Amino acid sequence: MNHPSCPHLDLRSRQVLRTLITRHIETGDAVGSQTLAKQAQLEVSSATIRNILADLEELGLLSAPHTSSGRVPTPKGYRFYVDALLQVSPVSAAERLEVARTLGESGTTSQRLGCASDLLSSLSQFAGVVSLPKRDRMAFKHVEFVGLEPTRVLAVVVFADNSVQNRVIDLPVPIQPDELVEISNFLNQELAGRSLAELRRRMLRELRQAQDELQNLMTDSIRLAESALDPIAEDMLVSGQNRLLGTPGLTDMTRLRELFDAFNSKREILQLLERTEQAEGVQIFIGEECGAQPLNNVSVISAPYCDADGQVLGVLGVIGPQRMDYSRIVPVVQTTAAVLGESLAGHATSRP
């Protein structure tokens, strides 16, 4: 989780805050002292509860709407809740079976990623997002070059999961078709099975240093390999953003337009997901912690999904209002990330 440091609260204050936030998530209403006196399971008066609420408000964990005598959580209150008070239970057997069945029955890698995004939206009733696998971390399997024009070549790169990336390369000088075949055979023999990142770090450097009778082949191979294996901009899949329309806490039309613009441009959301890649486990970003104006009114729960060797391929998550059921959605995100990684690993090893 994010931000492990929390204000010091005694057990009684923690119980009041946990009860208030749980109640507010369930109902969306401001929670008053009388309700808390009944539900917090503390043998104290409403007056004592009011004093605790005043202290929590002074700490910035709660606020009092003008139209109510009750309190609602602030973003800082939600942060304390997820860091110090959240009690997470595993997903139900039925939900895990649904995730495993859906991702296991999907065909291609793209279909599995799309299903993961749809599942996150369906199970959370908010927006589900999945960043596409980092190609430079995936094992390279095969490359083929097809001449289009004397100085234009189509590179067809196949990865270990049998996904394909096509790229047109402009050459400074023409290369003959038989030379393209020779280069393809050479690169497949020398580079197959390595990740693109490893190829750029090691193999291309070694090829540059090679000095033998294949010098011309080496030069052309380096040129084509660098162009064919250069990373492309990452992208992401989004499902269910329309579920956010009319969601309590997300009714400001100006902010909603900014949020939907962020879904369309993807840039701010991808930057946020990249922060999850550099951390371990589920990450929760609340309001301004997301680091982008369009996301200031939402929460994002995200987790990386990994290959069989534990290398991060991408990130998935749920985007919804700050008033969401973190105790239920956190394990949904965690389980979906784990099952997606297992599914992709099994998909890669089961295919010829």
* 79-105 residue pLDDT tens: 999 999 999 988 888 888 989 998 987
Check residue 147 and give its pLDDT.
Answer: 87
The whole-model pTM stands at 0.76
Q: 1 in a domain, yes or no? A: no
With tokens 């003008």, the residue in question is 66
* Residue partners of 215: CB distance under 8 A and separation at least 6: none
Check residue 162 and give its pLDDT.
Answer: 72
Cα 326 from Cα 146, distance rounded (Å): 51
Sign of the CA dihedral running 140, 117, 129, 280: negative
Q: 6 in a domain, yes or no? A: no
CATH number of the domain bearing residue 219? 3.30.390.60
* Residue partners of 25: CB distance under 8 A and separation at least 6: 323, 324, 325, 326
Instruction: Give the residue from 193, 211, 228 where a domain finishes.
Output: 228
Check residue 199 and give its pLDDT.
Answer: 66
Instruction: Give the residue from 187, 213, 228 where a domain finishes.
Output: 228
Q: 5 in a domain, yes or no? A: no
18 CA to centre of own chain? 27
Instruction: Give yes or no: residues 243 and 309 share one domain.
Output: yes
Instruction: Give yes or no: residues 130 and 269 share one domain.
Output: yes
Which tops the pLDDT comparison, 232 or 350? Answer: 232
- Residue 1 — pLDDT band, cuts 50, 70, 90? very low
Q: Are 253 and 297 in contact (CB under 8 A)?
A: no
Instruction: Extract long-range pairs of 269-272: CB within 8 Å, 24+ residues apart.
Output: 269/129, 269/236, 269/295, 269/300, 269/319, 270/131, 270/234, 270/235, 270/236, 272/300, 272/302
Check residue 110 and give its pLDDT.
Answer: 82
Instruction: Give yes or no: residues 241 and 336 share one domain.
Output: yes
Check residue 9 and give its pLDDT.
Answer: 92
Instruction: Give yes or no: residues 48 and 160 share one domain.
Output: no
Instruction: Give yes or no: residues 183 and 158 share one domain.
Output: yes
Is residue 306 within a helix (H) or strand (E), and if so which, with residue range? strand 298-306
* 147-200 residue pLDDT tens: 888 888 888 888 776 777 777 888 888 888 888 888 888 888 877 777 666 666
Residue 245 has pLDDT above 50, yes or no: yes
| Percent above pLDDT 70 for the chain | 84
Task: Provide the residue count of the chain.
Answer: 352
* 276-316 residue pLDDT tens: 988 888 999 999 999 999 999 999 999 999 988 888 889 99
Instruction: Give yes or no: residues 104 and 172 share one domain.
Output: no
Distances (CA, A) of 25 to 29, 202, 212, 250, 281: 8, 52, 70, 14, 24
Check residue 352 and give its pLDDT.
Answer: 38
Q: Are 106 and 161 in contact (CB under 8 A)?
A: no
Cα 91 from Cα 276, distance rounded (Å): 22
Q: 189 in a domain, yes or no? A: yes
Which tops the pLDDT comparison, 235 or 257? Answer: 257
Check residue 121 and give its pLDDT.
Answer: 96
- Residue 18 — pLDDT band, cuts 50, 70, 90? very high
* Residue partners of 297: CB distance under 8 A and separation at least 6: 249, 250, 252, 255, 259, 287, 321, 322
Instruction: Give the residue from 19, 53, 85 where a domain finishes.
Output: 85
Instruction: Give yes or no: residues 223 and 77 share one domain.
Output: no
- Tell me which residue of 82, 101, 84 sits closest to 93, measured CA to CA: 101
CATH number of the domain bearing residue 23? 1.10.10.10
Distances (CA, A) of 148 to 139, 152, 154, 205, 252: 27, 5, 7, 28, 52
Which tops the pLDDT comparison, 139 or 147? Answer: 147
Averaged pLDDT of the chain = 84
* 38-63 residue pLDDT tens: 888 888 888 999 999 999 999 999 99
Distances (CA, A) of 61 to 27, 53, 258: 19, 9, 26
Instruction: Give yes or no: residues 130 and 240 share one domain.
Output: yes
Instruction: Give yes or no: residues 333 and 238 share one domain.
Output: yes
Instruction: Give yes or no: residues 248 and 339 share one domain.
Output: yes
Sign of the CA dihedral running 149, 150, 151, 155: positive
Check residue 209 and give its pLDDT.
Answer: 61
Check residue 192 and give its pLDDT.
Answer: 74
Domain holding 219, by residue range, is 136-228
- Residue 350 — pLDDT band, cuts 50, 70, 90? very low
Check residue 252 and give its pLDDT.
Answer: 85
Q: 4 in a domain, yes or no? A: no
Instruction: Give yes or no: residues 305 and 195 share one domain.
Output: no
Q: Taking each helix axis from N to C terminus, what angle separates 326-350 and 109-124, rounded to the nearest 10 degrees?
A: 170
**How many domains does the structure of the chain reveal?**
3
343: left (phi over 0), alpha (psi -120 to 50) or beta: alpha
User: 111-115, 216-220, 299-303, 320-324: which has the minimum mean pLDDT?
Assistant: 216-220
Residue 115 has pLDDT above 70, yes or no: yes
Residue 213 has pLDDT above 70, yes or no: no
Instruction: Give yes or no: residues 331 and 246 share one domain.
Output: yes
Check residue 230 and give its pLDDT.
Answer: 63
Q: 2 in a domain, yes or no? A: no
Structure tokens at 108: 């291609």
